[in-house]
Amino acid sequence: MGLGAEPWGIWILPWVALIPLWWIVIQFLGKKAVLLRSAIAWGVGYYGLSLFWITGIHPMTWMGVPWLASLAIALFCWVFITAWGTGLTVVWVGVFSQIYKLLKHQFEWQKASEMGFILIRVLMGTALWCGLEGLWSLTPLWWSSLAYTQSYGNLAILHLGQISGPSTVTAAIIIINGLMAEGFYFCSAHSCQKNYKFYIIPIVLFIIFHGIGFSLYRQPLNDFPDNAVKVGVIQGNIPNEVKLYSQGWQQAIYGYTTGYQTLASQGVDVVITPETALPFLWTERTRRNSSFYRAILQEKVLAFLGGFSQSGNRLTNSLFAINGEGEIISQYDKVNLVPLGEYIPFENIIGKWINRLSPLDSHLIKGQQNQQFQTPLGQVIVGICYDSAYSRHFQQQAANGGEWIVTASNDAHYASAMLAQHHAQDVMRAIETSRWTVRATNTGYSAIVNPKGETIWISQRDTYTLHTDFIYRRTTQTLYVRWGDWLTPVLIILSGIIMALFYGKPFRNID
């Protein structure tokens, strides 16, 4: 499953990668130790591999952290987020095995259809996994939905996200894996020479799922020239080793100022910079002493600038829309902050202890959920870095009138695998909302993605880059934008109804 995610991108593997775990649940029903070990092994294999990029924060010697302490921090982060993801797998195996035992007992007592038994199990296993992913995505630590193993190599199946978000793709993966695992188990105990449905059903569904996705992918965009926006992107390439110090500030001010002037001379409608492009508090005094601010007054081109703002006695990680008069006409504050990196969970309880361990300034405050980024170029859907992992964040902004997406990130402190996965997340958000997306990053990958998920342009890593392109404002709403993730509650409710009715009468034999 982990090899399905970028940068490996072997997207076909996730369609069979859950079969061993599902088969173990059936084979070793009631053997808790075996089930627990298997769940942990599978979870560590998936989340440990796909999230190994977190170790790229080492070494942090440039921040004054000793080499061994830096290694310990990196390993702790990797172990913790791997364990957090593995917890989902452990819960799924534990609950699903109990559901399976109950269903098995009732089906044997009622002498009901084996195929009916299998279909009900697959339904409930799928509903349970989607429900758990929904719960995990409500927490401050979320990244690795099964759906993102298909991004960005399998654009056809990603278009199922337009129906009910990532849960649609996750459900399709679970259904195929579940049916194949059930079929293999049944055929190991019975002859399947005449029961071709155990082979055919998952293959047919795999084709149907991709056929639906491909039909959505093939829909014309129908973008109108009047809705075109010429955007300019600056990839500043300011290494983290210098970013927060005087040398980095001077490099940033020079690079972004000259980049802004160059792009403005090319006739762009807006210049977009990465997260914290100018890494200081953007106050009135700071603005007026900045060459970037003076360039705006001279060129009169709208700028989206990443920086910090103050809220009470705390800071926000923000993106500002600055008009040609140098005025901030809109501001977006990052909603999904990185735990320990940007804020301390349960700060009153563990704050002092964490401050001794964390090398980062973990005292930012998150923005409100209902922000709107209004600009002369329409309402923009904004995500800063970690926001990209939360599909609801973009769905809600699109439902409230957002016409195109801007994501601003600084991934310089992570391994290259993270850059590829971050791009993959934004590809999913573009497809789910059917919006043009502009990615502006510090060191890569900056990109332009169309509503089909096609990457029109992508930058090289660790290079100073200027790029201009056309994107289009869109107001169309996908089913996911209108209704959100409606599939997961439907699956859960349907499973509950079946369980409630199960004791009333046996299922009709459908073999």
Instruction: Cite the active site residues.
Output: 275, 334, 385
CA angle (406 as vertex; 404, 409 as ends), nearest 5:
165
* H runs (alpha helix) in 137-220: 155-158, 161-164, 166-189, 197-217
Residue with tokens 């660790």: 462
Q: Hunting for tokens 């349960």 — which residue is that?
A: 346
CB 232 within 8 Å of CB 263: yes
Burial 115-125 (b: 16+ CB within 10 A, else e): bbbbbbbbbbb
The 3-state DSSP composition of the chain as helix, strand, coil percent (nearest 5) reads 55, 15, 30
Phi, psi of 266 (to 5 degrees): -90, 5
CA distance 303 to 496: 51
d(CA 39, CA 96): 12
Q: In terms of residues, how long is the chain? A: 511
The Cα 360–Cα 354 span in angstroms is: 10
Greatest Cα pair distance in the chain:
82
- Contacts of residue 190, defined as CB under 8 A and 6 or more positions apart, other chains included, come to none
Q: Token digits for 310?
A: 């103050």
How many angstroms separate the CA atoms of 5 and 13, rounded?
Answer: 10
Contact predicate 25/34, CB 8 Å: no
Token couple for 133: 């992913």
Residues 6+ apart with CB under 8 A from 346: none
Strands 270-272 and 302-311: parallel
